[in-house]
Chain A
Amino acid sequence: MSNKKSASKYAPIIMTALLALIAIASVIWIVLVKNTKGETVSIVSNGITLKTIDLNTATGELLFTVINDPSDETAPYIVDGNKPLGTHYNVIRITREGAEIIDSDCTTHICIHEGITDSPAKPIVCLPNRLLITVTGEKSETDTDAVTY
């Protein structure tokens, strides 16, 4: 009985410490991965990779529209350009700076507000349209192609 009493006495402290630990670990995690940069953009819909683009070779701006209409048997598919067709579409813009979603028919538009990404630590997702844009591959921070001595 006394054992149970002492356990309940320390339970709030232990649980608060556990929460604080998770919060601190999360902050460290965010800070550590913040400045990583990648160079290959992958556009994935329904778990299928529709396109991969190397950011280094991207010239000007590239526009793609991913259509994932559930009533369309051929979906998901990707077309070039800004073509907001039917339902469940996302328009993606890719430049040397990274990838972003510029148009979507989802309700919250969180994917658009997520902005531009060039980091493996920051994928862009559109949950309603099951679209995912990830950046992979390490890129050196200095932006030099090669170093010779």
Chain B
Amino acid sequence: MRKDTRKIVTLGLLAALSLAIYAFESVLPPLLPIPGMKPGLSNIIILYTLKRFGKKEAGSVLLVRLLLSAILFGNAISLIYSAAGGFLALLIEILCDKILSGKNLQITGAFGGLFHNIAQLIIAMLIMQTGAVFSYAPYLFIAGIVTGLFTGFASHFLLKIKIPET
């Protein structure tokens, strides 16, 4: 019972942390003028949750972050983009983590980042009703891999930090 409560509190804190990072990131000026390009730092928390707790927990934290960020800063359209990207990335990360048997988290992160951008590109094509946005694909592929590598490394080092269990 006590263990359950602690887990719920920890997941709540992780969701809040992810939301805070997302909020901070959304006020940063864009690094490059490529639509849809973002550092994706809030994914560090999702990857951390996946490794520390599991699939269901990571999915829940992601869902909470998506809904809260849409209510607080976004709109229905931005929710579609971030939900598609977030869930496909998580799915791919679960798969990669299984293939890599839990090691080399940076590769998992890179694949997550890549597929996050692929999902958003597909959504952009559907919403804008044109294939022209596909011209951004190579930029978004590289950006996804680079930011994903960083996310993976960051989660790897975050997992090394011992959280005191009281």
Measured CB to CB, the residues of A under 8 A from B are: 8, 11-12, 15-16, 19, 22-23, 25-27, 29-30, 33, 44, 46-47, 108, 110-111, 113-115, 120-123, 125-128, 130, 132, 134
Contact = CB atoms under 8 A, between A and B. Distances in A.
A44 B131 CA distance: 12
A80 B87 CA distance: 42
Contacts, number: 89
A25 B135 CA distance: 14
Contacts of A132: 128, 130, 132-133
Contact of A113 (B33, B36, B101): B33
B91 interface: no
Interface string B117-135: 0000000100111101101
A132 B136 CA distance: 13
A121 B132 CA distance: 9
Given A19-B145, A27-B138, A47 B114 contact: no
Contact of A127 (B33, B35, B111, B142): B35
Interface in B93-118: 96, 99-101, 103-104, 107, 110-111, 114
Contacts of B24: none
A27 B142 contact: yes
B34 to A, nearest CB: 7
Contacts of A123: 132-133, 135-136
A7 to B, nearest CB: 8
Nearest to A134: B132
B30 interface: yes
B145 A115 contact: no
B53 interface: no
A5 B128 CA distance: 46
Given A12-B107, A15-B99, A15-B107, A26 B128 contact: no
Given A110-B30, A114-B35, 16 more contacts: A11-B99, A19-B107, A19-B114, A26-B142, A27-B142, A30-B139, A44-B128, A46-B129, A110-B34, A114-B33, A123-B132, A125-B132, A127-B124, A130-B128, A132-B130, A134-B132
Contacts of B107: 12, 15-16, 19
A108 B133 CA distance: 18
Contacts of A47: 128-130
Contact of B36 (A23, A30, A120, A127): A127
15 contacts: A12-B103, A15-B99, A15-B111, A19-B107, A22-B114, A26-B138, A26-B139, A26-B141, A26-B142, A29-B138, A44-B132, A114-B33, A123-B136, A125-B35, A132-B130
Contacts of B30: 108, 110, 113
A112 to B, nearest CB: 8
Contact of A15 (B36, B100, B133, B139): B100
A22 B99 contact: no
